[in-house]
């Protein structure tokens, strides 16, 4: 016979914590606590299998169920010495849902079940408190009518308000027993009127009604949507927990509360929580009365007057503290607890792993290792890598008031306040004068980089999570809110409007790059502080991980940040970012408008010493660590001006007519620049560009080698290759430059030439390409764009609809799409390695800093991930977790 | 001992035609003719293996070679009864290269080898013609010095011109024996002066010099480039043919000529060719004298006076005619022949398969089947599918004078003349007035379609072979030259300039869409005529092919053309093309600017009857054949106006402010429209659009079914899917519409819902997608764009460099890239079929009309190809050939 019902209570249970899948989280932990001998009101759990059977059999319960419930109920009756439906000594129960994973959107709780017109009198007599009894009954009628019978709870609240109005009072507490008695009558009539049925008076009918309501709520639209969004199979089902009631509202000797075994905000090893005397759980949550502190110390630190539990109920508090210790030692995790004190007796109603802030997670993990509760591997798994971001960036003071005027994508974490400026030059100027500025642009381009660097934060009206603004801001560690669609910028008027508010240049706004919120005025922020715990955890992660972690960086400052965060090299140095300096851009433009190769070579000659200087500096900072340099990638039109005034200026500087320049601009215009004349296509059309860059790299390497005696091994990366022939064509030229520089400088050098794998064709042809390329770096930004056929700059308009309608689980530009893009990465890795066993494999798309994607990289066997400097710690931890997860498999 | 040398002549040879790889084309056919007993001057062939050995061994010949050459030479001497280097009776030979495949760029011929200061006197005496002897000698010195010793032939020509000037004559024929003798002296001196070496007097030295020159020419840059472009392996090597000289210039009893066994231009079964009395082969080619006709009939038809060979040399002609019959019967192919008559004796110097026009190829293939020479399968393989294009479109009269002013891509075949117009409306107006017009645009967009239809031809300054203009023009069968980069259009001035020429609106130009040439003024064209042979061949092809052939068409006129050309259905009906009609575009725009779903539904309501009408018409034309209808695909901004005046007009019509419209236009703007908010992303964002289209389709199908009693089975195609979830989302809605329409109309309908596979992710996920999609159509245009990461609109700028530098063999938008895109097509087909065995597979990209790509489709096992209406015959033939090629494997 299948066992559908598991009892718990009085120090022994039929289930335990390991039966979470069968009993749900709440039921399993109630059973476990009961087994531990903790005071748990007796009860029983209907398993998740009942739910599955119920749906598989057309909403009918298994035959044996009724008998099993009856017998479990009898056991409660025996333990509590009360009887269900007994006029004199009635047993009351709570009915709660409890799925395997926490699931909002389902029926939560019915309390006080078992009350009816007769038992309420018994309860009044027994508790010697008629007011309490009738209050409990009306609460039950409202809850039950609402969640089981479908009567809108507002109707009950209206009746209550009318009653108070009539009596001329404002608080519920001002109503007496008779008032509640009268209200109970009104409530019962309301339910009858609304449903056409009498409110069930038979407790057994009540019980089955509540049970069916829980199972029914498993298939509501909200619950189904939630499951789809969180990838929870419908087959899991929910359990139902039926537990004898205990009352925190039976007078001054009673109380109810919630608690954490450690401070969930700071991680401090001190009890944390709140309680209310003479109250039921819902009162704590409702916020009508101010909850009191648990400990004397907490009360004193907060300067609060209301007495703490430690002071008010010393005996119950001591018991509770012992329970805390017991639970932490048992679960080896910080616990989140609900409890009730009924007439001086402590009862445990729930325990579960406590949610916590990143800061707290870090401290608790390291502390628990110190305390010998867990080992280092477990500690590594306890910290959410993504959360480390909070520790590295300023955050908004949660208590600070704010006026949110718009919302965009949380594109780069951190909060920042500053004066609104609308162009990069002004951002730089005002920053030099000591002002904090927020750069506001419709979208950013490489020309804006100096302004982005000078700004505290960046706000764009367009673009997605991997738009230029987002990528660069993350790289620099600047806060960024991108794609705030409601923000309309007028550069002419130097203002932007949103939701009816107009913000002019110079006015202060605050942006929160972690939430995407944009606020008017200045909102207080909290500066991050890195504790020793951070270093400790990172050291453990480094011991554990297999993959290397590099950074995407080219600006010396960013490279230094990356080194400080533990980057083991540079995985992507975007050379085009070096071309926007005021001095250089002129030479770049001169090259672009040149009539022929000679003209281009002349202009490139001016750039050579500048590029060389860049690389010298980078090689110095990276002290012999590998540096992967990507040759020029963006289409040339990105370097040309677009507004008339600027065009005139540039034409003059480049010594061509405005008409010539305009024609060249028109010639270079592209319908789809992402798929245009860029990447190695530039190198093949104008080999002299890549030759100049190769020369700058080799000369820099030779210089630094001579100067420091260190061995510099540049990795030269060819972007956007689709064929082996492209690599061969360019490799021949780069090798030629290498030989020339070695002869000129008389320095022997090692270097390698590899390619980005960022086009589907490159992944498909990886075997052929690996014959020529010595390393692959998966450029998963572009690979996602081409594999999906989605431009990251335009995706914001419809990707949210895709997520809302459940077509995509997550933004493929944030977390790698394993089924599609992932297949190509895997294919690229396997085919490449089959041809060249020691092929070095890395990833340098934004996914290199995303924990779920890093897990995938471990699975595929990449050698390293490369990400924004500020994501390096996240990547280090995620890489360690990826190893641990596989070890545990 | 390896056999390096193969002799031929006097009715028997050591080789034959089957040894083409070893003896090269020319050598193998000389041997074959000799075996057939035809009169071939004796000679021998050095095999291609000699060439390979020569290069493998550092430019040294195999040891045995010298002896084998000596012995072969002795055999010629025996047969001709002349001796190499003999003062009195010298043997003279020609030395010619002859590779496996015809290969321009290599050394061609040295004639009269064996002449020197002594043997020339012998030849004079023997021929009793000193002028002939010295003329032959000076020709030899010039040829040999040029091709073997590297002296520029212009230097010799200068000397000759000087001599004529001095003598006061203009023609070579006016020089006598002494003049030539004097020139010989000057020539020898020139060679000495230029090379520092004496001209070799020893015939054996001459011979080895010439042999080495042939082998050397195998590795010249031109030859290497040619081989790379035509995929000819360097390992193949060339053969060298050494053959005793015969002279067509030994007086009036001698002659030389070239001939085809049938007319290579019309295919008529009549001898075709020209000859010259008393001349050497080079004289026929040089064009100084007008060659004479072979047959009396040909001469008379041409109204020529010069006597024909049939009349002048009846005996030799009768012999030649017999040779023609013999060769055709033997080779079962039309032959291209070189012959010489020496003192009345006919000698055959070459035979090979003759090149021919498409028209001729068709006629010859069908005739030869009638004659019993070949079977139907062979006939199918004899016609180049691509060539059929010539038969379906007007072509330029080859004899008409022309002034080419620019050149673009040959985007859609056919030649057309007309007045230049710069916008679509004007094109339509002028065409209505009976004028022929050429529409000239920087690029075209769907808004221009009515104008393109009205025009005779389309010329664009931008865009590649699969640009909008090219695709649409091919679909309509209009001539199109696309991407003519030198053409600069000024819409304001209503003119374009190119190469210093300015063409104003209204002036006449001619474009040739088969060559890409643009000509000033009107150039005569020849109208195509389809013969019964065409139908015969097509019927054979239809019997043979496995794949179906459908057309891409949506305009009724195009659908009719497609049917006439034998299309078996519509593989791609692009519904957006139906939205540009003046009446409809307004409703489309109203929908786009609508504030909410209600507004959109209202506007769509106006479109519904129009769309329904379109489909009713299509279903009628296609008479129950399958029609695949693609739901709306392009981004919405393509439907909005871009110029101020038009914006104002549209705003008024749509009843919104100009500002609102401009804002909407700005909102819809995209960085990369190709990867933007289009395809099924529209259907998912605005389900009401696809619902309207589905309703139009089902209502039309129901109407036509009721009316005609025929079963209409629409195939509804969802564009740009990347995931199964997209199909599921839309399928549910389309199915809903189907049920509703069936209920309303009380007509039961069959229909299927499938998808384009045009994104790499779709191919990778084909297994999952096939769970929901009932058919796949590979959209290889977009698949190529995304797999390669190349926008077809922007590719023209660098793809030519890629082809020029040998990085790509062909334009991947013309012929499918088997290694990359092809892998995905194969993967999509295999994975899809693995899940759904009866999954219908087709292709509807431009590749569906490209023979090489059609071959690939056969290989992968697709069910059908779909192409532009005018490509349908090409596809039918190519599909048959693909089957035949595989049968022969």
Q: How far apart are CA B309 and CA B287, in angstroms?
A: 18
Interface residue of A675, A800, A813 to substitute, partner B, most B CBs within 10 Å: A675
* 8 Å CB contact of B764 and A684: no
Q: Say what the alpha-carbon torsion angle A832, A835, A840, A843 is, to the nearest 10 degrees.
A: 0
Torsion of CA A606, A612, A613, A619, to 10 degrees: 170
Q: Do B824 and A764 touch (CB under 8 A)?
A: yes
Query: What's the full length of chain B, in residues?
Result: 889
List the one residue out of B88, B69, B84 whose CA is nearest residue B7.
Answer: B69
Reported for B291-295, long-range contacts at CB under 8 A and 24+ positions apart, including other chains, are B291/B257, B294/B257, B294/B259, B294/B320, B295/B270, B295/B271
CB atoms within 10 A of CB A508: 17
- For B839-882, the pLDDT digits (tens) are 999 999 889 999 999 999 999 999 999 999 999 999 999 999 99
Catalytic pick among A480, A573, A680, A844: A844
- Over residues B532-564, the pLDDT tens digits come to 999 999 999 999 999 999 999 998 989 999 999
Chain B contact set for A787 (CB, 8 A): 759-761, 764, 786
Is the predicted pLDDT of residue B206 greater than 70, yes or no?
yes
Out of B725, B817, B823, name the one closest to residue A807 (CB): B725
3-state secondary structure of B488: strand
Mark yes or no for CB contact A789/B758 under 8 Å. yes
- Give me the residue from A764, A797, A806 closest to B823, CB to CB: A764
CB distance A628 to A571 below 8 Å: yes
| Cα radius of gyration (chain B) | 33
Q: Which two tokens stand for residue A429?
A: 């100027």
Residue with tokens 């399993």: A28
Beta-bridge partner residues of A351? A337
**Given this model, what pLDDT does residue B112 score?**
94
Q: Assess contact for A411 and A518: CB atoms under 8 A.
A: no
Of the pLDDT bands very low, low, confident and very high (cuts 50, 70, 90), residue A286 is low
Measured torsion, CA atoms of residues B775, B779, B780, B781, in degrees rounded to the nearest 10: 170
The rounded distance, in Å, linking the Cα atoms of A213 and A206 is 11
Give the mean pLDDT of chain B.
92
Are B576 and B634 in contact, with CB atoms under 8 Å apart?
yes
A252 burial class (0-12, 13-18, 19+ CB within 10 angstroms)? Answer: exposed
Tokens matching residue A598: 């000679």
Residues 799-838 of A with CB under 8 A from B: 801-802, 805-808, 817, 819-821, 823-824
Record the tokens describing residue A840, joined without a space: 């070095």
In the stretch 647-686 of chain A, residues with CB closer than 8 A to chain B read 670-677, 679, 681, 684-685
Residues of chain B with Cβ-Cβ distance to A677 below 8 Å are 794, 797-798
Q: Is A230 an annotated catalytic residue?
A: no
> How far, in Å, CA of B871 to CA of B877, rounded?
10
Lowest mean pLDDT of A248-257, B602-611, B679-688, name the range: A248-257
Pick from B361, B301, B294, B305: which is nearest to B333 by CA?
A: B361
- 3 state DSSP class of B560: helix
Tens digit of each residue's pLDDT (9 = 90 or more) over A723-780: 999 999 999 999 999 999 999 999 999 999 999 999 999 999 999 999 999 999 999 9
Q: Which of A675, A768, A794 sits opposite B670 (nearest CB)?
A: A794
- Residue B270 burial (10 A CB sphere; 0-12, 13-18, 19+): middle
φ and ψ at residue B542, rounded to 5 degrees:
-65, -35
Residues A108 and A143: beta-carbon distance below 8 Å: no
Q: Do A807 and B681 touch (CB under 8 A)?
A: no
User: pLDDT tens across A825-854, in order?
Assistant: 999 999 999 999 999 999 998 899 999 999
CB contact under 8 A, B671 and A793: yes
Give the pLDDT band (50/70/90) at residue A284. low
* Pairing assessment for the beta strands B775-778 and B752-757 based on DSSP bridges: parallel
Residue A222's pLDDT band (cuts 50, 70, 90)? confident
Which tokens hold the place of B375?
A: 């079977």
DSSP at A344: T
Edge-to-edge strands of the sheet including A415-421?
A403-407, A517-520, A508-512, A415-421, A437-441, A457-460, A479-482, A409-412
Which of A34-38, B274-278, B685-689, B834-838 shows the lowest per-residue confidence on average (mean pLDDT)? B274-278
Cα(A313)–Cα(A321) distance, integer angstroms: 12
To which residue do tokens 């939701």 refer?
A499
pLDDT (0 to 100) of residue A345? 95
Q: Which of A684, A720, A820 sits opposite B789 (nearest CB)?
A: A720
Q: Which residues of A touch B808 (CB under 8 A)?
A: 723, 725
Cα B178 to Cα B167: distance, rounded to the nearest angstrom: 12
Strand, helix or coil for residue A25: helix
Distance (Å, rounded) from C-alpha A247 to C-alpha B369?
103
| Minimal Cβ distance to A805: which of B684, B758, B790 | B684
Chain A residues with CB-CB distance to B722 below 8 A: 788-790, 820
The per-residue pLDDT for A391 is 86
Q: Which of A759, A801, A820 sits opposite B789 (nearest CB)?
A: A759
Kindly state the tokens that stand for A541: 């992660």
pLDDT (tens digit per residue) in A574-607: 998 888 877 788 899 999 999 899 999 999 999 9
C-alpha distances (whole Å) from A878 to each of A276, A374, B366, B408 are 41, 19, 71, 55
pLDDT of B481 > 90? The answer is yes
C-beta of residue A780 within 8 angstroms of C-beta of residue A799: no
Contact A790 B720 (CB under 8 A): no
Taking the C-alpha atoms of residue A699 and residue A737, their distance in angstroms, rounded to an integer, is: 10
Answer yes or no: do A798 and B759 touch at CB < 8 A: no
Burial class (CB in 10 A: 0-12, 13-18, 19+), A693: buried
**Taking a C-beta distance cutoff of 8 angstroms, is the pair A140, A112 a contact?**
yes
Task: Give chain B positions within 8 Å (CB) of A723.
Answer: 807-808
The span from the CA of A818 to the CA of A633, in Å, is 26
Q: What percent of chain B has pLDDT over 90?
A: 70
CA distance B876 to chain A (A): 30
pLDDT at A279: 86
Give the residue on A whose Cα is nearest the Cα of B789: A675
d(CA B271, CA B259): 7
Is B722 in contact with A801 (Cβ distance < 8 A)?
no
A761 touches chain B (CB under 8 A): yes
Chain-chain contact of A820 with B765 (C-beta, under 8 angstroms) = yes
H-helix or E-strand containing B323?
A: helix B314-331
For the annotated catalytic residues of B, the residue numbers are: 468, 844
Stated pTM of the model: 0.85
Active-site residue, from A453, A468, A577, A637: A468
ipTM of the complex in this document = 0.84
A362 and A391 Cβ atoms separated by less than 8 Å: yes
Cβ contacts (< 8 Å) between B672 and chain A: which residues? 672-675, 791, 793-794
Q: How far apart are CA B580 and CA B450, in angstroms?
A: 8
The answer on pLDDT for A379 being more than 70 is yes
Task: Return the pLDDT at A109.
Answer: 85
| Residue B82 DSSP label | -
Rg of chain A over Cα atoms, rounded to whole angstroms, equals 33
| A761·B684 Cβ contact <8 A | no
Helix axes A556-564 and A597-622, enclosed angle (nearest 10): 30
CB–CB of A684/A726 below 8 Å?
yes
For residues A23 and A6, the answer to whether their CB atoms sit within 8 Å is yes
Q: Is B290 in CB contact (< 8 Å) with chain A?
A: no
- What lies within 8 Å, CB to CB, of A41 at 6+ separation is A9, A80, A243, A244, A245, A246, A347, A349
Instruction: Look over chain A and give the mean of its residue pLDDT values, rounded to a whole number.
Output: 92
Contact A759 B788 (CB under 8 A): yes
Q: Which residue has the tokens 């040879």?
A: B13
Alpha-carbon gap, residue B607 to B585, rounded angstroms:
9
The 8-class DSSP code of residue B482 comes to E
**Residue B302 contacts A, CB cutoff 8 Å:** no
Contact (CB<8Å) A722/B797 = no
Q: Which residues of B touch A785 (CB under 8 A)?
A: 675
Burial tier of B325 (Cβ tally within 10 Å: 0-12, 13-18, 19+): exposed
Element (H, E) at A498: strand A495-498
What pLDDT is stored for residue A888 in this prediction? 53
pLDDT mean over B613-623: 95
* pLDDT classification of B292: cutoffs 50, 70, 90: confident
CB A301 within 8 A of CB A271: no
Output the CA–CA distances (angstroms, integers) from residue B715 to B712, B753, B773, in the order listed.
10, 6, 11
Q: Mean pLDDT across the stretch B743-762?
A: 96
Tell me, what's the pLDDT at A288? 61
Between CA B210 and CA A276 the distance in angstroms is: 112
The mean pLDDT value for B104-124 works out to 88
| A238 close to A97: Cβ distance less than 8 angstroms | yes
Across the interface, which of A672, A788, A789 has its CB nearest the CB of B793?
Answer: A672
Structure tokens at B39: 């009169």
B601: phi then psi, degrees, rounded to nearest 5 = -60, -35
B688, B758, B794, B822, best to mutate vs chain A, most A CBs in 10 Å:
B794
Helix (H) or strand (E) run with residue B572 in it: strand B570-574
């Amino acid at each position: 016979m299948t066992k559908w019902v598991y009892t718990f209570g009085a120090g022994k249970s039929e289930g335990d914590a390991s039966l979470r899948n069968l009993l749900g989280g709440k039921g399993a932990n109630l059973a476990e606590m009961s087994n531990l001998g903790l005071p748990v009101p007796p009860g029983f759990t209907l398993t998740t299998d009942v739910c599955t059977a119920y749906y598989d059999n057309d909403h009918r319960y298994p035959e044996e169920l009724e008998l099993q419930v009856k017998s479990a109920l009898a056991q409660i009756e025996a333990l509590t010495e009360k009887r269900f439906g007994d006029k004199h000594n009635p047993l009351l129960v709570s009915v709660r849902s409890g799925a395997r994973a926490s699931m909002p959107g389902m029926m939560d709780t019915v309390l006080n079940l078992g009350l009816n017109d007769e038992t309420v009198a018994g309860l009044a007599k027994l508790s010697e408190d008629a007011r309490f009894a009738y209050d409990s009954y009306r609460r039950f009628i409202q809850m039950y009518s609402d969640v089981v019978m479908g009567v809108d709870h507002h109707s009950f609240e209206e009746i209550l308000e009318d009653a108070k109005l009539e009596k001329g009072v404002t608080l519920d507490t001002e109503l007496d027993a008779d008032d509640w008695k009268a209200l109970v009558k009104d409530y019962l009539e309301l339910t009858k009127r609304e449903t056409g049925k009498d409110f069930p008076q038979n407790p057994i009918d009540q019980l089955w009604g509540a049970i069916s309501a829980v199972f029914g709520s498993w298939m509501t639209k909200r619950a189904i949507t939630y499951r789809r969004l969180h990838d929870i199979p419908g087959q899991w089902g929910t359990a139902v927990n039926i537990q004898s009631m205990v009352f925190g509202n039976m007078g001054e000797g009673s109380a109810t509360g919630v608690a954490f075994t450690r401070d969930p905000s700071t991680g401090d090893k001190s009890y944390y929580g709140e309680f209310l005397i003479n109250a039921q759980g819902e009162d704590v949550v409702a916020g009508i009365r101010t909850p009191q502190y648990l400990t004397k110390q907490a009360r004193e630190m907060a300067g609060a007057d209301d007495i703490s539990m430690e002071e008010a109920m010393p005996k119950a508090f001591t018991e509770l503290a012992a329970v805390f210790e017991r639970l932490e030692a048992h679960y080896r995790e910080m616990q989140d607890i609900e409890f009730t004190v009924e007439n001086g007796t402590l009862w445990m109603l729930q325990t579960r792993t406590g949610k916590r802030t990143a800061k707290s997670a870090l401290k608790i993990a390291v502390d628990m290792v110190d305390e010998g509760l867990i080992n280092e591997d477990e500690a590594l798994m306890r910290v959410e890598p993504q959360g480390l971001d909070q520790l590295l960036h300023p955050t908004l003071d949660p208590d600070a008031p704010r006026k949110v005027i718009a919302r965009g994508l949380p594109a780069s974490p951190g909060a920042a306040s500053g004066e609104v400026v609308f162009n990069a030059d002004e951002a730089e100027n005002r920053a030099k004068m000591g002002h904090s500025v927020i750069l506001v642009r419709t979208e950013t381009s490489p020309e804006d980089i100096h302004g982005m660097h000078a700004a505290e934060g960046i706000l764009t009206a367009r673009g997605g999570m991997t738009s230029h603004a987002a990528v660069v801001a993350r790289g620099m560690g600047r806060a960024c809110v991108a794609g705030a669609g409601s923000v309309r910028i007028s550069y002419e008027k130097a203002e932007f409007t949103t939701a009816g508010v107009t913000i002019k240049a110079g006015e202060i706004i605050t942006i929160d790059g972690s939430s995407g919120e944009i606020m008017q005025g200045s909102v207080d922020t909290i500066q991050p502080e890195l504790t020793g715990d951070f270093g400790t955890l990172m050291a453990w992660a480094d011991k554990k991980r297999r993959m290397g972690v590099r950074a995407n960086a080219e600006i010396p400052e960013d490279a230094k940040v990356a080194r400080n965060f533990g980057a083991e090299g540079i995985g992507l140095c975007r050379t085009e970012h070096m071309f926007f300096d005021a001095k250089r851009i002129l030479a770049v433009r001169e090259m672009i408008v040149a009539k022929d190769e000679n003209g281009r070579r002349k202009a490139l000659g001016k750039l050579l010493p500048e590029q060389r200087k860049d690389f010298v500096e980078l090689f110095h900072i990276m002290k012999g660590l590998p540096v992967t340099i990507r040759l020029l990638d963006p289409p040339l039109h990105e370097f040309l001006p677009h507004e008339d005034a600027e065009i005139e200026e540039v034409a003059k500087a480049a010594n061509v007519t405005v008409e010539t320049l305009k024609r060249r601009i028109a010639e270079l215009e592209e319908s789809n620049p992402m798929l245009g004349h860029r990447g190695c296509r530039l190198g093949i059309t104008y080999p002299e560009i890549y030759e100049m860059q190769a020369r700058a790299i080799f000369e820099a390497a030779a210089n630094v080698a001579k100067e420091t005696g260190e061995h510099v091994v540049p990795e030269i990366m060819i972007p956007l290759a689709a064929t082996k022939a492209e690599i061969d064509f360019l490799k021949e030229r780069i090798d030629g430059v290498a030989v020339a520089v070695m002869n000129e400088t008389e320095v022997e050098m090692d270097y390698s030439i590899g390619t980005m794998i960022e086009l589907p064709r490159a992944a498909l042809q990886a075997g052929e390409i690996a014959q020529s390329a010595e390393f692959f770096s998966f450029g998963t930004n572009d690979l996602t764009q081409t594999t999906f056929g989605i431009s990251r700059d335009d995706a914001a308009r419809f990707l949210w609809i895709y997520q809302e309608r459940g077509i995509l689980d997550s933004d493929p530009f944030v977390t790698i799409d394993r089924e599609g893009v992932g297949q190509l990465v895997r294919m690229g890795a396997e085919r490449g390695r089959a041809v060249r066993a020691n092929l070095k494999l890395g990833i340098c798309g934004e996914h290199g800093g995303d924990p779920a994607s890093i897990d995938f990289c471990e699975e595929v066997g990449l050698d390293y991930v490369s990400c924004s400097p500020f994501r390096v710690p996240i990547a280090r931890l995620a890489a360690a977790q990826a190893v641990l997860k596989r070890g545990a498999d």
